[in-house]
Amino acid sequence: MFLVRTFNLKTATLRGQSCAFSSALRAKFEFYEVQQSRQYNIAKIQQGYYTRDAEGQVPLENVLSQKFKAMDKEVEMSAEGKQIGLDDFVAIQSGFPKQKYLPSLAAEDPIIEAITTKCGARKVLSFQLLDQRWNGNYVLRYTTSDGDLFVKLNHREDKSVFVAEAVGLTSLLRSEAVRAPKPFHVGEISKGGEDRQGSFLITEFLQLSPFGSMTSTNQRILGEQVAKLHSSKLLEDVHKGRFGFMVNNFHSRTPLDNTWTSTWTDFFTRRLTSQLKMLQKEQDWRPFFNVKNQSFIDLFSRVIEQIPRDFGKLTITPSLLHGDLWIGNAGATVDGPVLFDPACFFGHSEFDLAIMKIFGGFSDEFFNAYHKVLPLEDGYEQRERYYMLYNYLNQLNLFGDENVLVKCISVMKEILQEQ
């Protein structure tokens, strides 16, 4: 039995955040998060790793063609349907200018030490590298004498980044609405030495079914659960009617200011404005965007000015949000849906729905079940445009896709009802 690490939601604070934020903003990203995930799964299909969905009914080739038909089917990355061994882990890191920390089974290894002293496992038997993510995270499965554990490792990030994630997971669990991996421990690789930087997060290991969250049954259940999350009253002692969160965190690799505010319009205006401020900083991966693009700034300013008109008549109460609820952050075990990789905060429930529409993967079964609990309110379509704009701006900041810039302009004109 593993020892559950309790993260205090009322007093949680982060240290070293500004350093982590700065490094995240300087990073150059080679893949869209959603594109990489899709290509990875398409490669598995092409290599015969999966043949049918979790219910054994629909060939997954059909699932992919329906969900991802707009995307280029050429796989530009290597992805094999197998677990990766230590030799592959070493090879992956060969491009680093200086060799970084490599996991081992040695007693003094920081992850092994944490598992045996903080998580209560008597002995670690083996570990496997399951995946390497575009944001620098390595995903590992550790097998112990007391069961399996899930570990996320990053060579660059301060541990405050994983603390924020752990607080988000704890919040989801406290809502008693959705299932999420239990966080057990956040640790550092080492406090000294250029080659020993980084941090890791240890959580409960959940065996996910391939594409399990996309089955009709789990879509319906997940719709009910997310609606229950958004209407849960169990965290009122934390938000106290305010909008924000106990810690700052990240949406993908975008730093988020979650300072408490008394109104949703103030909080959301700050969120949108922060995206423009990041766009106005020169970055080499989006040279097409002129930081002095006055027409874009003028259009954006008019959108901001219109927020009170489009939101002012609506009574909005704080809901606990996942914050980054695209289909890649939802899965399912044999027992039902699971949510992970949150960017939690207390905000407007409709905010979580926009990213689902943008990236797809959520069916009518999900939305029908959700809206049976939380029906749509008047003016939803207009407010959805604002929330989609936020997500498009975030993608533009992260990856610099010129097509996304065009989409941002289009959505802003829709908000302003211009052609």
Active-site residue identified among 109, 148, 158, 324: 324
Q: In whole angstroms, what is the distance from residue 198 CA to residue 156 CA? A: 5
| 341 flagged as catalytic | no
Do 344 and 320 touch, CB atoms closer than 8 A? yes
Distance CA 19, CA 197 (A): 13
Torsions phi, psi of 378, nearest 5? Answer: -55, 140
CB-CB neighbours of 85 under 10 Å: 12
Residue located via tokens 């900041």: 397
d(C-alpha 201, C-alpha 170), whole Å: 13
Classify 349 as helix, strand or coil: coil
d(CA 250, CA 273): 16
CA distance 79 to 75: 9
Question: Can you name the residues that pair with 330 across neighbouring β-strands?
Answer: 339
Angle, in degrees to the nearest 10, between helices 402-415 and 380-399: 160
Residue 347: helix, strand or coil by DSSP?
Answer: strand
Between CA 374 and CA 316 the distance in angstroms is 13
Under DSSP, the state recorded for 53 is -
283 burial via Cβ count (<10 Å: 0-12, 13-18, 19+):
middle
Closest CA to 341 of 139, 62, 88, 92: 139
Catalytic residue positions, numbered: 324
